[in-house]
Amino acid sequence: MKLVGFLLLVTIITLSLEVQELQASVIPLKLLGTCIDLCTSDWDCDLGESCISNGCGHICMAG
């Protein structure tokens, strides 16, 4: 019984980490399609951010 509980705990932790990674990669809806260029290259962004297209303009996003 202890083994089953341990395996269940490991599974829950693994799934939690995967969900956190997916949430971090989702672009907030308010930034989708904003037609302004806030950056032209990664050099325009803060450390740890990248200049990415949001479908209409470019924004800095952590990644």
Residues in the chain: 63
Mark 38-56 as b/e (b = at least 16 C-beta within 10 Å).
ebeeeeebeeeeebeebee
The reported pTM is 0.48
Q: What is the pLDDT of residues 4-53, one digit of tens each?
A: 777 887 777 777 767 666 666 666 655 566 688 999 999 999 999 999 99
Residue-level pLDDT at 38: 92
